[in-house]
Amino acid sequence: MIRVSELSKYFGGTRALGPVSFEIAPGETIGFLGLNGAGKTTLLRILACDLRPSAGSFAVGNVDGIADPHAVRKRIGFLPESPPVYPDMTVGDYLTFAGRIRGLPPSATTSRVREVEEVTHTIDVHDELIRHLSHGFRQRIGVAQAIVHQPEFLILDEPTNGLDPAQVVEMRAMIQDLKGKHTILISSHILPEIRETCDRLIVLGDGRLLASGSEDQLTSRLELRRIVVAVRAPVGDDAVAGAIRRCIESVAGVTRVLASGRDDGALSFHIDATGDCRAAVCRALVEGGHDVLRLDRATSELESVFLELVHGGEHASG
C-alpha cells in the first residue's frame, strides 16, 4: 500500500504539487490523469524517491519515504518519461548492470535478465547496442530495468510517449501482463491508455487532487449519461429511421437523440439521458420490432467528465 498525506512540492515560490492525500491498495493499477503541467510527473518522481517533497509525507508499505528513501527505492521500479538507458551498452549488459545495482546477487542476475527480456519481448536484441534500437525498443528496455529486481510497486511515467500505434498496443499488452504481479502507477494524459489499463483513476489539475475513483464512479458525476446504439435499418427508409428515433425518445430519462451515421446496414444514434438507460432503450427497440446491433456507453463519456474536472476547477474526491 502507498499512503500519501498532504504532500506538496514548491520550486522556489512556484507550487508544482499539493497538497495531495490518497491511498493505494496492493495489487491496484492506478492511473494519474491530468493535462500537461498538472503535477503528475512531480508526484511520481517524489514517490520514486527521485525528488524530495517540500512538505507532507508518504510511505510505501510500512517504510517512510522521507526518512528512509533508500529502503523505498528497493521496493519500487521506476520508468521515467525518457527511458534511463545507456546507448553504448548492449541490452543484456545494461539489464545486468541494472539488476546488480538494485541488489540482485550475481548467481540470480543472468536468469532474471532472461526472464525480463522474455516479458518485455527484448530477448532478440539481447546483444544489440541500445543506440541502434528504435524508441519502442528503448521503452521496453526501460520497463525491463524497472522490473528486473521484482519490485512490489511499479511507476510508469507516460509509458506510451512517442510510440507508434502498433507499439502502443504492444505496451498496453505488456502492462496488462504485469497487472497482479505489481501495484502499478501510470501517469498519462491520454484517456484511452487509462481506460484500457487502470482499475482506478486519480485526476490531477493545477497540482491538486480533483477526483479519484473508477471510471464508472467518475462518469456518474455527469448530469447526463451518454450512450450509443446501432439499429438495423434499410438504406433510405426514412419511415424506419423515424420509428427508431421515436422508440428511443419514448424511454424515460432520454433527453436527446442524435443520428450519428450509417455503417454496415445499421443506423447509429447518440443518446443523452439522465441515467444509465441502456437496458430500457434496448427493451423499447426490441419490443418495437427493431434489431439492436450495438448498445454501449459513448466513448466520449470519460473525456467529458475529465474536461469538466480539469476546466471546472472543482476540488473533490470520490
Distance in angstroms (rounded) separating the CA atoms of residues 257 and 300: 16
Q: What average pLDDT does the chain have?
A: 86
pLDDT tens per residue, range 4-59: 999 999 999 999 998 999 999 998 999 888 888 888 899 999 999 999 999 999 99
Query: Mean pLDDT over residues 59-86, rounded?
Result: 91
What is each CA distance from 152 to 11, 241, 269, 304, in whole angstroms? 30, 55, 45, 34
Q: How far apart are CA 143 and CA 139, in angstroms?
A: 6
pLDDT at 316 over 50: no
- pLDDT (tens digit, 9 = 90+) per residue, 96-153? 999 999 889 988 999 999 999 999 999 999 999 999 999 889 999 999 999 999 999 9
> Is the whole-model pTM more than 0.85?
no
Residue 317 clears pLDDT 70, i.e. is over it = no
Contact (Cβ atoms closer than 8 angstroms) between residue 83 and residue 138: yes
pLDDT of residue 91: 96
What pLDDT does residue 197 have? 83
Looking at residue 261, what is its pLDDT?
75
C-alpha cell at 232: 438495423
Provide the greatest CA pair distance for the chain.
75
Least Cα distance to 229 among 264, 252, 257, 196 occurs for 257
